[in-house]
Structure 1
Amino acid sequence: MIEFDDVTKVYSDGTTAVDGISFKVAPGETLTLVGPSGCGKTTTMKMINTLIRTSEGTISVDGVSVNERDTIDLRRSIGYVIQEIGLFDHMTVGKNIGLVPDLLGWDDDRIDNRVVELLELIELPPETKNQYPNELSGGQRQRVGVARALAANPQVMLMDEPFGALDPLTRENLQDEFLDIQDDLNVTIVFVTHDIDEALKMGDTVAVMRDGSIVQCDTPTAILSDPADDFVADFVGEDQKLKHLATVTVEAVMDDDVPPHDSPTVTPSSTLKDVARILLGSDYDVLPVVEDGEPVGSVTRTHVQTIVGDDSTLSGIEVSNSA
């Protein structure tokens, strides 16, 4: 667990970057920090691994104040992913991924096995291990950055705008892949973004920040359905219903009956936004839900309409003709 207890950060020039914030991140959950530039979200995240020191209050990881931990040990125990990735160009991908395990004294065989395991996890071929970062695409380098952060099996990961520099399609694909990875890893994550759509998609809990304070800290559904004030409502935007679709998985609403398998399919981890894209581009009202090649249920146009009302609300969604 990560816990902030009345934490404040005041810089030497008198600027208050973070003002008395308190929140908890439960083990295995993701908290997204979102807000306009200068609101204090990155400062908040960097205080967890003491890249920035608190002025007042306490930050604890697993019940121990970060200020009582050895700084080097603390930082090596926390995965860290940034927008610029920060890979070392003179080192191979394998050496980049294995950097922290090497610093921790792992033997060569254990490091090599971990590198191979992580390359498979992030869906890069084994031969990528011997390539250099400048031989990879931006999306591939970002994957390697995630793998490096996971290399030493951290229980906590900090992610600072990790997909912000990527094109929209690559960004969305990596978001989806990381959500799948997170389901398997059970890592506690604090994720900084300026993009409310990304915050709602990636977070189990979303903390909306303004002027160094947390305006609302709640589930994505609660943020969308019951914003705390006009600032949160304006920040979320007018298309709350469409954003809501992206926060609801098929698994959460699907029916048990299996329809004929002659239509496009979705998976349990697909969102209702994915379903809406397919339904708008077809004459189907029901889609089969398939997992590991086997039909496990169905999702319907009614499931979508329960959230958005009639189909006219969906005019802003890009139509798709396949899963």
Structure 2
Amino acid sequence: MTARTLRLGTRRSALATTQSEHVAERLRVLGHDVELVEIVTEGDTNRGPLAQIGGTGVFAAALRNALLAGEVDLAVHSLKDLPVAPQPGLVVAAVPPREDPRDVLVARDGLTLGEIPAGGVIGTGSPRRAAQLEALGLGVEVRAIRGNVGTRIGLVGDSCDGVVLARAGLARLGRLDEATEVLDPLQMLPAPGQGALAVECRTDDTDLVELLRGLDDADTRAAVTAERALLGELEAGCSAPVGALAEIVEEEDGSLLISLRGFVGSTDGALELRRSAVGPIEQPERLGAELAQVFLDDGAADAIAPPRQPGPAVDAGHPQPAGPDSTPEGEQ
């Protein structure tokens, strides 16, 4: 591809621009000038619940519209913000190597999750996290909070004993040392696609599609494809209490498999379903769909209905939907 100036669309938050700069730097190394173009999405400005302001794609829609209108050449999304259904005219040309997808706790006095006393308050805007915290039976209050990474952490020691965020977001912002515990997926499965980025461009921009393919990581793409296939088959959006984590494992004969674990639950902790499956790396969509069917056979549909928000909301002072895993700061 002939060197050209590429306009990269990004959400305006600190985390989104940091993620976009990571992709931009890789393209600059390849000899291309890259200009970041900030796009304001409805998810960045509307304070209402995600389900009321447009659902899963509320953070991606403005970026995608800018792509389709030719205002930008490519866009970087937090993959867990991206709807499972493809957008006509656009292609996710690259899924770069994934950050650690696990969640973390940031708590007062260096506490771990098990050390927060009964009656303590843990803040999260995610029904997925709320459902898994309630299922642990710790006797804590799970309270809905709003705000970006910095404002959520600022609640610790004030209105919350601790908050749960995505490790990837803290790592990308250089704030990982503020985490007091990395949560084991046995306790807290991440959101499908958590920690991964999606680099999207127009399908007909074939030179750019080919260029971006060089940023793609095959193992990451296979893993997140399985996770998102699970989500899609469940017909659940990012505001549903669904967790998933796929990992690539190597057999003794050298063949590669995908190990996929999933969680579906209710935000009051009354329903907790954890299931897993293993399949060939060449068939991630099939593996995700098959595991989703196991969940549906076991009664997951009731939990996937629009969730009750966990506890009274605490507004941390920034426009943001209450309830989804996706927030104006992307990976939280």
Structure with greater contact order relative to length (CA < 8 Å, sep ≥ 6): 2
Q: What's the TM-score bracket when you normalise by the shorter of the two chains?
A: under 0.3
TM-score computed with the length of structure 2 as normaliser: 0.27
TM-score computed with the length of structure 1 as normaliser: 0.28
Higher helix share: 1
Larger radius of gyration: 1
